[in-house]
Amino acid sequence: MTSQGQVVLGVDSSTQSTKVLAVEVETGEVLARGQAPHTVTGGAGRESDPEEWWQALLDAFGQLGEYAGRADAVSVGGQQHGLVVLDAAGRPLRPALLWNDVRSAPQADALVERYGAGRWAQRFGSVPGASFTVTKWEWLRAHEPEAAAGAWGVRLPHDFLTERLSGVAVTDRGDASGTGWWASETEEYDEALLAEIGLDPKRLPTVLGPGEGAGTVRERLPLRAGALVAAGTGDNAAAALGLGLTPGRAVLSLGTSGTVYAVSRQRPTDPTGTVAGFAAAGGGWLPLACTLNCTLAVDKVAQLLGRGREEVEAGGSVAFLPFLDGERTPNLPYASGLLTGLRHETTAGQVLQGAYDGAVWALLRALDEVLAVDGGAPSGEPLLLIGGGARGVAWRETVRRLSGRAVQVPVAGELVALGAAVQAASLLTGEAPTDIAHRWSTAKGTLYDPVPRDDDTLARLSAALPLAG
């Protein structure tokens, strides 16, 4: 049973910033917000200092006013796959390797070749690409062996923050399923694999099941000591909790990365590697396909063209694959952007629209495979469009035109943080996360009817793909 006035905090520690929502448990009303930025270093890879995540979290808590001290429970949703290595005092030994750091592509290739894609899919639910934590660990062992040998603890980004809050080294099945060393077949760490890659299981956090808590908030933090700390989870699993997602509904998320996913009853085992077989934080599974190049890539194209992000123009013959950082889906880690079909009459607005088309096409081509895990989506179900890009007209209209499907844009924003708040509320009250999300009406939003699918653009992009490899 819920109690009027209870407050929970939901955290979204993403690539670019930390956001926190203070949410009233009974109604789902957002009472306060906090946000602080992160720094991502570029160059050969993508890295961030985990201490900066912690400081950003404290700064965001400080913006909540009275609600930080009133909160009864807190949960952290965080960017997936990142590799955090700690010394015996819990301090980072080096900057974290982020999910979109693709330097470990050779290690990913070697791991797949060593064990076979079919074995990876059957045992772990996913075929590891350069985003997966196991490949980053292998990169660290090859390039910085002293850091790997000196790692007292190995964590994911959300694990690091949960441990700082509670003092307990834990993770959850949703985020653990993106490491490449947690076997979805057994729902345990694969000790044979860990032995082969030189990683002692004692260095890893305990994996909690749905509904289990990490502990309580430590003293001398800007939260109430003794408030419950939930297990937390990865960002996409958190957003699924925030939407109260049930089998048959597909989500298309437009952010730094692009993702399509759905909750499934069946465990995914895709040997092609297109569908990652993640676990859902609330139980069941979360088949997902992810692209590296989404809103940031399109914004970069707009910047290069000197146009606003909404200044697109229809028509033309452009095919643009904006794989500016390599690509995960399709699996082309060494690719760069590819633009074809330019003519004298091509306009800058058409080129920008081409970048949108390519980013959305890369997601939609994986959507049917995601939904096929559970037998496909019921007819008439609209796509749930979330993430920062969902607020943009050009993004929304591109999804409608290339999918030919109805699109629903939830009113609720910050769905990762909201999903973390759902998890915290579930720990506090004992209610199912879907019941809480449905009570909060998190998926409610504007519905846009389908338009005829643009098969000509889809064909141009499909024809261009072989050139990108």
Residue 409 CA to residue 431 CA, distance in Å, equals: 26
Contact 251, 278 (CB under 8 A): no
> For the chain, how long is the longest CA-to-CA vector?
67
Nearest of 140, 222, 135, 126 to residue 174 by alpha carbon: 126
Residue 163 is encoded by which pair of tokens? 């441990």
DSSP 382-441: PEEEESGGGG-HHHHHHHHHHH-S-EEEES---HHHHHHHHHHHHHHH---HHHHHHHTT
Using omega within 30 degrees of 0 as the cis cutoff, is the peptide bond preceding 92 cis? no
Bridge pairing between strands 73-78 and 233-234: parallel
- Whether 200 is a known active-site residue: answer no
Catalytic residue (one of 172, 190, 235, 270): 235
Type of residue at 309: R
- Phi, psi of 465, deg, nearest 5: -55, -45
Please state, as a whole number, how many other Cβ atoms lie within 10 Å of the Cβ of residue 345: 9
What positions carry a catalytic annotation? 235
